[in-house]
Structure 1
Amino acid sequence: MTLPHILLLPGWLGSGPEHWQRRWAARYGDTVVEQADWEVPRRGDWVARLEDVILAQTAPVALVGHSLGCHLIDAWASSSRHTDRVVCALLVAPPDLHGSQLPAVLMPWRRALAQPPLPFPATVAASADDPYCRLAAAKRLAERWGAGFVDLGPCGHVNAESGLGDWPQGRHLLDELVRRSSHPASPFND
């Protein structure tokens, strides 16, 4: 069985060089999906970019979103006709887009809560002390997305400032999710 290609989806402002996503790209050869504008994240542009990257792959993909990248996965999945190309998704530290502290530039990302669940296996991994999302809100997101849930304990926003280095626990979560996912791993025909 061919392993899926891992696509890493940073959140608002991107992931710096010490972020586990950039470290995974360097260590494992995963692909960071770069956006044209990290400061003003236009949902339609980000979704279109993700669609382009997924369609360019010749094998199935596993998506790993951090922060706003989690909501990108949701927005893409609700509009794409190519969700069958995704083996699974790991959604790490999704922010609460309905919280009172949401920056104005992220307001357009708010969506009605009655969205369908993700059409592929997913796991939400959230921190007990994430300043952008309380654990209860992260659990509600997992339920809405039809995803499993992992409480990571206290590790902030699960970013470079959390001091996770290569974040082996996260890689283990991803490896287990990929292993459990049943998806035909063959090249795609258009």
Structure 2
Amino acid sequence: MDESPTVVIVPGLRDHVEDHWQTHLARRLDNVLTVPPLETDKLSRDARVAALDEVLTSVSSPVVLVAHSAGVMTVAHWARAHHRDVAGALLVTPADLELPLPESYPSLEELDRNGWLPIPRQRLPFPSTVAASRNDPLAGYRRVVGLAEGWGSRLLDLGEVGHLNPASGYGYWPRAESLVRELRESVSRAASSHATDSDAQVEHSHA
């Protein structure tokens, strides 16, 4: 039996939040890793990207990324500079770091100083789904649609779910499990198909 793809959870700038859907998801899945909170340089893009890369380097099986908020931007910056194979990614309610965020969040100047700007818009080198909210206080819907187009992502319209965090009334989010299951199944199907094709080529070469 093929090994289930490893799910790597990429939190936003607030890292571990007890009642966050990513925290609930990590508890309910098998074969899952979460990028750990930073002890220092918490706002550093380079430190966030390095932390993600360190987790990915430790995994030998296929990987599915599950990112939220600024964690989506961590993934986008990571993909621009690194080349480890990723089988797929679920990118949920990305925070638009190019426009002013609500008062309790870092300022544009802080984000720029820490390397987050501009947002990478190159096509991602792996299949991805952007799950977008129509009333996200951290990103306008049309802006997120534009990001999804640039990244070559499938767009999933979640409707009005705020920022899909506890402040928006979302702790446990059952749909996360079904979306991750779909990603894992598609990865397993692709791996199985590739193995079958390889076997066929071997048989043909010995015919």
Residue 105 (structure 1) aligned with residue 106 (structure 2)? no
Aligned to 2:63: 61
Secondary structure of the residue aligned to 2:66 is strand
Aligned to 1:91: 91
1:139 partner amino acid? V
- Which shows bigger deviation, 46-55 or 23-32? 23-32
The 2-side partners of 1:39 and 1:65 are apart by 20
CA offset at residue 133 of structure 1? Answer: 0.4
The 1-side partners of 2:173 and 2:93 are apart by 13
Secondary structure of the residue aligned to 1:45 is helix
Contact 1:7–1:32 (CA under 8 A) maintained in structure 2: yes
The 2-side partners of 1:180 and 1:63 are apart by 14
Residue 167 (structure 1) aligned with residue 173 (structure 2)? yes
Correspondent of 1:146 among 144, 152, 157? 152
The 2-side partners of 1:174 and 1:79 are apart by 25
The 2-side partners of 1:38 and 1:88 are apart by 29
Aligned to 1:6: 7
1:106 partner amino acid? L
Secondary structure of the residue aligned to 1:98 is coil
CA offset at residue 128 of structure 1? Answer: 1.0
Secondary structure of the residue aligned to 1:51 is helix
The 1-side partners of 2:184 and 2:165 are apart by 22
- 5+ residue gaps, structure 2, are 193-207
Query: TM-score, with normalisation over the residues of structure 2?
Result: 0.80
Aligned to 1:188: none
CA offset at residue 55 of structure 1? Answer: 0.8
The 1-side partners of 2:88 and 2:70 are apart by 17
- Which shows bigger deviation, 165-174 or 142-151? 165-174
Contact 1:64–1:90 (CA under 8 A) maintained in structure 2: yes
Secondary structure of the residue aligned to 2:87 is strand
Aligned to 2:125: 119
2:168 partner amino acid? S
CA offset at residue 89 of structure 1? Answer: 0.5
Decide whether aligned partners of structure 1 residues 164 and 78 sit closer, same or farther in structure 2, where only a CA change above 3 A counts: same
- 5+ residue gaps, structure 1, are 186-190
Query: TM-score, with normalisation over the residues of structure 1?
Result: 0.87
Decide whether aligned partners of structure 1 residues 59 and 116 sit closer, same or farther in structure 2, where only a CA change above 3 A counts: same
Q: Which has the higher helix share?
A: 2
CA offset at residue 37 of structure 1? Answer: 4.3
CA offset at residue 170 of structure 1? Answer: 2.1
What RMSD in Å do the two structures reach over aligned CA positions?
2.2
Number of aligned residue pairs: 183
1:41 partner amino acid? L
Secondary structure of the residue aligned to 1:65 is strand
Q: Which of structures 1 and 2 has the bigger CA Rg?
A: 2
